[in-house]
């Protein structure tokens, strides 16, 4: 099957497929080398890889936004150049008959034109008309010169923006390539965690340690501040809580045995099989007491619902709530993702009563 896949891939685009395959192999070799260092924490390594990947993604996104802005500026510069050119052409068309008339007048001469006056009044009138014609022609000529200067400036601006756009496009492409390399490195690390028993066991042990640290963190959270909204009645919501995101429950609560390596872990919450990008919402009114990164859980939001109850949602792709914010039931807390996750995109959901993990399944509405 592997040979068939490789043959089909090479038939589609040999050079691109070979480069992608070589990049994957290089990432897997590097992952094996890094994780072979026994003193190196698996979760720390994964955290570093994820941060590097997300930073590369953000840098690439910034470069693409800059490129898009430069493309818009280039379009504006092209329009300004066209407008300046059109104005110059219009003024030049108007100047052409005026210049011909000036040439004819120069052959007659200003003195001759004035000398042909039949009276003093006619002379004064001719003098005034001649001054007005000269002033008008001078104004049109100055406007034409200004239009020519504007066209030159617009042409220079268009050329400079086109050059800048080319550099930004190269930077965006390089950023995307770097982000892809970082993403492939993270994928290789996750494959090592899932596929190598020793690494898997180390990761499971570290995950248990982080779960204990999270329990200590939740237990140490300060009580609701004085004057805050009084949240009551959460205990009466047992069996009626809406799920924080749509999707099936994919894991059990409590002691879980890995089917492949037979390692035993204790899970303080459940996995909800929600799709990446789905909104994650508060299950009840409360106050956000934490919104940030927590090793092993990625982007983590904790909501205090009063009476000692907290809910936790983790591995978020993005966070919409901030610590200290009061939220209503159904308020958006973030989106489903795979930050800090060893198992891909899903939502991790915990319910705690006075710091103690509680199985959330009986609390959720059927």
Does 202 fall in a domain? no
Pairing of strands 298-306, 332-336: unpaired
At 149, the pLDDT band (50, 70, 90 cuts) reads confident
Instruction: Give me the CATH number covering residue 262.
Output: 2.70.70.10
pLDDT in tens, 277-295: 999 999 999 999 999 999 8
Domain identity same for 250 and 191 = no
Tell me the CA distances in angstroms from 215 to 100, 246, 299, 310, 321, one per residue in order.
93, 26, 16, 11, 21
347 against 46, higher pLDDT: 347
Domain identity same for 148 and 284 = no
Domain identity same for 104 and 166 = yes
| Residue 52 exposure: Cα atoms within 13 Å on the Cβ side | 15
Domain identity same for 238 and 115 = no
Tell me the CA distances in angstroms from 153 to 1, 72, 146, 157, one per residue in order.
62, 18, 10, 6
Whether the CB-CB separation of 289 and 221 falls below 8 Å is answered with: yes
Contacts of 277 (CB under 8 A, 6+ apart): 317, 335, 336, 337
What SS3 state is found at 362?
helix
Does 204 fall in a domain? no
* Domain's final residue, options 168, 195, 222: 195
Does 200 fall in a domain? no
Domain identity same for 235 and 327 = yes
115 exposed, middle or buried (CB, 10 Å; 0-12, 13-18, 19+)?
exposed
Per cent of the chain over pLDDT 70 is: 71
Domain identity same for 48 and 171 = yes
Domain identity same for 45 and 149 = yes
Is it the case that residue 10 has pLDDT exceeding 70? no
Per cent of the chain over pLDDT 90 is: 28
DSSP state of 236: G
* Domain's final residue, options 195, 230, 247: 195
pTM summary value: 0.61
Is it the case that residue 249 has pLDDT exceeding 80? yes
Mean pLDDT, rounded, for 66-75: 85
15 against 44, higher pLDDT: 44
Is it the case that residue 266 has pLDDT exceeding 70? yes
The token pair at 46 is: 């994964």
136 against 302, higher pLDDT: 302
Closest by Cα among 330, 278, 279 to 303: 330
Does 169 fall in a domain? yes
Angle between helices 2-12 and 14-35 (to 10 degrees): 130
Does 80 fall in a domain? yes
Does 273 fall in a domain? yes
Instruction: Give me the CATH number covering residue 57.
Output: 1.10.287
Determine the Cα–Cα distance for residues 308 and 287; give it in Å rounded to an integer: 12
At 24, the pLDDT band (50, 70, 90 cuts) reads low
Mean pLDDT, rounded, for 347-359: 94
Does 205 fall in a domain? no
Contacts of 348 (CB under 8 A, 6+ apart): 269, 270, 271, 272, 297, 312, 313, 314, 315, 341
254-257 long-range CB contacts below 8 Å, 24 or more apart?
Answer: 254/359
Which pLDDT does position 225 carry in this prediction?
A: 58
Determine the Cα–Cα distance for residues 363 and 241; give it in Å rounded to an integer: 6
16 against 364, higher pLDDT: 364
* Domain's final residue, options 166, 195, 224: 195
Domain identity same for 59 and 165 = yes
Which pLDDT does position 60 carry in this prediction?
A: 85
354 exposed, middle or buried (CB, 10 Å; 0-12, 13-18, 19+)?
exposed
At 39, the pLDDT band (50, 70, 90 cuts) reads very low
> What single string gives the DSSP state of each residue in 67-116?
HHHHHHHHHHHHHHHHHHHHHHHHHHHHHHHHHHHHHHHHHH-HHHHHHT
pLDDT in tens, 157-195: 788 888 888 888 888 788 878 877 877 877 777 776 666
- Name the residue range of residue 308's domain: 214-363
364 exposed, middle or buried (CB, 10 Å; 0-12, 13-18, 19+)?
buried
Domain identity same for 38 and 152 = yes
Does 201 fall in a domain? no
> What single string gives the DSSP state of each residue in 303-361?
EEEETTEEEEEEEEEEE---TT-EE-TT-EEEEEB-TT-SSSSBEEEEEEETTEEE-SG
Domain identity same for 242 and 344 = yes
Q: Could you tell me how many helices (H) and strands (E) the chain has, helices first?
A: 6, 11
What SS3 state is found at 238?
coil
Domain identity same for 287 and 161 = no
Name which of 89-103, 196-210, 235-249 the model is least confident about.
89-103
Domain identity same for 234 and 329 = yes
Determine the Cα–Cα distance for residues 305 and 280; give it in Å rounded to an integer: 16
Which pLDDT does position 12 carry in this prediction?
A: 46
Closest by Cα among 30, 141, 147, 29 to 80: 147
In the chain, how many domains are there?
2
């Amino acid at each position: 099957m592997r040979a068939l896949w490789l043959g089909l891939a090479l038939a589609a685009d040999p050079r691109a497929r070979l480069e992608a395959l070589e990049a994957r192999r290089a990432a897997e070799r590097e992952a094996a080398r890094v994780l072979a260092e026994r003193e190196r924490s698996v979760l720390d390594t994964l955290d570093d890889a994820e941060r590097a990947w997300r930073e590369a993604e953000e840098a690439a996104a910034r470069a693409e936004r800059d490129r898009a802005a430069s493309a818009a500026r280039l379009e504006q510069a092209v329009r300004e150049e066209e407008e300046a050119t059109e104005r110059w052409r219009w003024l030049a068309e108007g100047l052409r008959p005026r210049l011909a008339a000036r040439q004819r007048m120069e052959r007659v001469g200003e003195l001759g034109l004035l000398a042909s006056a039949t009276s003093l009044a006619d002379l004064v009138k001719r003098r005034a008309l001649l001054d007005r014609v000269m002033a008008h022609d001078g104004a049109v000529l100055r406007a034409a010169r200004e239009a020519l200067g504007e066209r030159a400036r617009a042409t220079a601006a268009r050329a400079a923006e086109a050059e800048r756009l080319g550099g930004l496009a190269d930077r965006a492409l390089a950023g995307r390539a770097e982000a892809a390399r970082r993403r492939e490195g993270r994928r290789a690390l996750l494959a090592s965690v899932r596929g190598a028993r020793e690494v898997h066991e180390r990761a499971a042990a570290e995950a248990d340690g982080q779960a204990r640290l999270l329990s200590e963190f939740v237990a140490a959270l300060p009580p609701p501040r004085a004057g805050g909204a009084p949240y009551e009645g959460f205990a009466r919501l047992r069996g009626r809580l809406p799920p924080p995101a749509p999707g099936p429950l994919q894991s059990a609560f409590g002691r879980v045995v890995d089917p492949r390596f037979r390692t035993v872990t204790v899970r303080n919450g459940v996995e909800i099989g929600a799709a990446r990008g789905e909104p994650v919402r508060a299950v009840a009114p409360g106050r956000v007491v934490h919104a940030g990164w927590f090793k092993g859980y990625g982007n983590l939001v904790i909501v205090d619902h009063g009476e000692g109850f907290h809910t936790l949602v983790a591995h978020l792709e993005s966070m919409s709530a901030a610590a200290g914010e009061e939220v209503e039931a159904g308020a958006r807390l973030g989106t489903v993702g795979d930050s800090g996750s060893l198992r891909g995109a899903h939502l991790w959901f915990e319910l705690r009563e006075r710091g103690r993990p509680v199985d959330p399944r009986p609390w959720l509405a059927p």
